[in-house]
Structure 1
Amino acid sequence: MSLLTQLPVPSHFDRQRVGEVWRVPYQTRATEAKAWAKQYGIQPAERDQRQVGLLLIDVQNTFCIPEFELFVGGRSGLGAVEDNIRLCEFIYRNLGVISEIALTMDTHTATQIFHPVFWINEAGEHPAPMTMISLSDVETGVWKVNPAIAHHISGDNSDRLQIYALHYVQQLQQNGKYLLTIWPYHSMLGGIGHAIVSAVEEACFFHAMARDTQTHFEMKGDSPLTENYSVLKPEVAIDHEQQTIGETNHAFLQKLLRYDALIVAGQAKSHCVAWTVEDLLNEIQAIDPALAQKVYLLEDCSSPVVVPSVVDFTDDANKTYDRFAAAGMHRIQSTDAIDSWLKI
């Protein structure tokens, strides 16, 4: 069987359950995956002459299940569910091509700069989720740091924390980033929302068993003092006293650059996917711009943040992807014949 021959989707995959949370029957799937590999002649990943990586960004319940905190609905209203149906089928059909799957996991605790409890107004009220905090808002005191949280972030020094907060929004504006967005509490470490979507987890586990490889998990976003849309670096890395609060993830960056081809999907297209690819592209351009040609953006397996009547990042995401394509990256669809675009 040719390396690029697409396989059937195993019968255990149920499109109707992709938007639900359930327990993966690991031992059953492991047994089935071994039989599947034997039936279709799927070789261990270590034998691949060219290493193909699939980077899945934040495919977690908090972003992908409709009743969870930050469901990425896109303009269709069911974006992440539809994306993950296609993503699972893509993984199953291309088990013999994908050498390794790497999943990033947004990882948060309650008191972080983008959560409501971090901020208060003059009335002592916290900002509502999806509030955008601008530099002017902090300069004029519309929003200020909640002094009650200072004890476990800055050693009871609320004045220092307030100075840092001003520095933070200044840096966002200076670097052309999105305004500081106050998100609902989400991706909470230890919670159900933090977990990988069950259907995707099952597909990744089946892949690992069929190919005798290990799924890679990369955590991000646990610093209380910065957003971390990108898995490769924080939004702000240095505080107002020139102390490091976050660093470039050089180890994971090098891992991504070692693949002969890197396929990227996940949530949300406008935020964590866009900023991760942006940082990857910046590193590539500093090393060798031609390396951009080995990056493939699985566009129908990612959706932008859309909150009806509040905010719609669809156009921003599309413009960003246009720029990635202009730099040499490939925009692909999961339903495209893989031998029509994967150059290995």
Structure 2
Amino acid sequence: MSPSLPIPDFFAPDRVGKVWRVPYEERAVQAQAWTQTHGIQPADTDRPRLCLLAIDVQNTFCIPGFELFVGGTSGQGAVDDTHRLCEFIYRNLDQITEIVPTMDTHRAIQIFHAAFWIDANGQMPAPMTMVALDDVRNGRWRVNPGIVANLGGSLEQLQAFALHYVQRLSDDGKYPLTVWPYHSMLGGIGHSLVSAFEEACFFHNLARQCQTRFELKGSNPLTENYSVLRPEVLDDPDGQPVAKKNQALIQHLLTFDAVAIAGQAKSHCVAWTIDDLLSEIQQVDATLARKIYLIEDCSSPVVVPGIVDFSEAAEAAYQKFAAAGMNIVQSTSSIASWFSP
């Protein structure tokens, strides 16, 4: 393993929390020179092979002022996390075989958005409302009749599905259904990758002569999709499928010698993705958990002061993952040590 590479001069930490246009042609020229200066080889020659799974490093979660900025306990969590993640990529550019960014991808009418629900007075729920099982059973929240034509079926069928949905979340020990603010809207600026992270991915492409593997999730209107590997609910009340696992990505990740995981939010999309990956691993070979590396200082939990704080839930999840054999690491740790006998 080679020593860490330097951080390119163009990387500007003070711009990580801002949105700007990546100068692709300029970076392409710099990447070619970087390759020659540092003797960087094409990614397909890597032995061992390392994948970086970057969860939802998008403006909607990582830029202050956007819809679901993950401030964490410090209030600047996602900005600082993305800063460290970009530097991790640049320092280890010659050892990261592939970067897999996931992208939360939504439209207006989905089960976790206000437009899906109304109360007895026809009012939609406020953002961050928790829709519990009893809320649907007793009619406090019901399906908005106005959306039925957009989703198909009848109002009765959708209402039965809504009850089944929250029942399934409760039975499976999932978080209660949360009415999230409209976010990661397909076609909108919030959906885009953070500029600094996109730039790092692009530079990696040109320096390593490879492609970024983008994974979109969350477009199904009838289920939440915190995890990129599977939606929260897979079937309807009759047992018919409404969604399915991302089996192709699961199998792809397990082909690598190591998978590093970072991104937002530690308490939700990151934790749920890791949990699903762990479940798949345990069905194949529990020892495979040892090749998963959770970059702890590149993820923050959802914290909305005075409303919700998922810090303890995030820590409990990471303790569970460590107990199962996964590795908790920092962005400054040596990748060479990951592959030591």
Same fold (TM over 0.5): yes
**2:94 — aligned with what?**
96
5+ residue gaps, structure 2: none
Deviation at 1:75, TM superposition (A): 0.5
Question: Per-residue displacement from partner, 1:46-91 (whole Å, max 9, x unpaired)?
Answer: 1112110000011000000011000000010010000000000000
User: Among 167, 172, 188, which residue is 1:170 paired with?
Assistant: 167
**2:329 — aligned with what?**
332
Deviation at 1:160, TM superposition (A): 1.0
User: Among 286, 298, 309, which residue is 2:283 paired with?
Assistant: 286
**How do 1:15-164 and structure 2 match up within 5 A?**
15-155=13-153, 157-164=154-161
Is 1:191–2:216 an aligned residue pair?
no
Q: What SS does the corresponding residue of 1:102 show, helix, strand or coil?
A: strand
Deviation at 1:152, TM superposition (A): 1.1
Query: Distance between the aligned counterparts of 1:337 and 1:100, measured in 2?
Result: 18
Letter in 2 for 1:103: P
**2:311 — aligned with what?**
314
Letter in 2 for 1:12: F
User: Among 256, 260, 268, which residue is 2:257 paired with?
Assistant: 260
Counterparts in 2 of 1:105 and 1:343: CA distance versus 1, 3 Å: farther
Query: Distance between the aligned counterparts of 2:129 and 2:69, measured in 1?
Result: 17
Deviation at 1:340, TM superposition (A): 3.4
Letter in 2 for 1:229: Y
Query: Distance between the aligned counterparts of 1:296 and 1:22, measured in 2?
Result: 30
Deviation at 1:106, TM superposition (A): 0.5
Is 1:214–2:190 an aligned residue pair?
no
Q: What SS does the corresponding residue of 1:214 show, helix, strand or coil?
A: coil
Q: Give the share of equivalent positions with the same residue, in percent.
A: 61
Contact map agreement 1:4 1:338 (CA 8 A) in 2: no
TM-score (norm: length of structure 2)? 0.99
Query: Distance between the aligned counterparts of 2:306 and 2:336, measured in 1?
Result: 41
Q: Which runs of 4+ in 1 moved over 6 A?
A: none
**2:268 — aligned with what?**
271
Q: CA RMSD in A?
A: 0.9
Deviation at 1:342, TM superposition (A): 4.4
TM-score (norm: length of structure 1)? 0.98
Contact map agreement 1:208 1:215 (CA 8 A) in 2: yes
Count of aligned pairs between the two proteins: 341
Query: Distance between the aligned counterparts of 2:340 and 2:63, measured in 1?
Result: 34
Q: What SS does the corresponding residue of 2:254 show, helix, strand or coil?
A: helix
Contact map agreement 1:70 1:186 (CA 8 A) in 2: yes
Contact map agreement 1:101 1:204 (CA 8 A) in 2: yes
Query: Distance between the aligned counterparts of 2:165 and 2:66, measured in 1?
Result: 28
5+ residue gaps, structure 1: none
Query: Distance between the aligned counterparts of 1:75 and 1:143, measured in 2?
Result: 31
Query: Distance between the aligned counterparts of 1:48 and 1:242, measured in 2?
Result: 44
Query: Distance between the aligned counterparts of 2:340 and 2:54, measured in 1?
Result: 20
Query: Distance between the aligned counterparts of 1:22 and 1:342, measured in 2?
Result: 37
Query: Distance between the aligned counterparts of 1:324 and 1:267, measured in 2?
Result: 17
Counterparts in 2 of 1:149 and 1:213: CA distance versus 1, 3 Å: same
Letter in 2 for 1:302: S
Query: Distance between the aligned counterparts of 2:142 and 2:218, measured in 1?
Result: 22
Question: Per-residue displacement from partner, 1:12-34 (whole Å, max 9, x unpaired)?
Answer: 00000000001100011011011
**1:242 — aligned with what?**
239
Q: What SS does the corresponding residue of 1:270 show, helix, strand or coil?
A: helix
Query: Distance between the aligned counterparts of 1:45 and 1:338, measured in 2?
Result: 16
Q: What SS does the corresponding residue of 2:214 show, helix, strand or coil?
A: strand
Query: Distance between the aligned counterparts of 2:48 and 2:103, measured in 1?
Result: 26
**1:182 — aligned with what?**
179
Deviation at 1:243, TM superposition (A): 1.5
Question: Per-residue displacement from partner, 1:84-126 (whole Å, max 9, x unpaired)?
Answer: 0000000000001101101111000000000001000111111
Counterparts in 2 of 1:110 and 1:252: CA distance versus 1, 3 Å: same
Q: Which moved more, 1:71-80 or 1:329-338?
A: 329-338
**1:304 — aligned with what?**
301
Query: Distance between the aligned counterparts of 1:325 and 1:334, measured in 2?
Result: 17
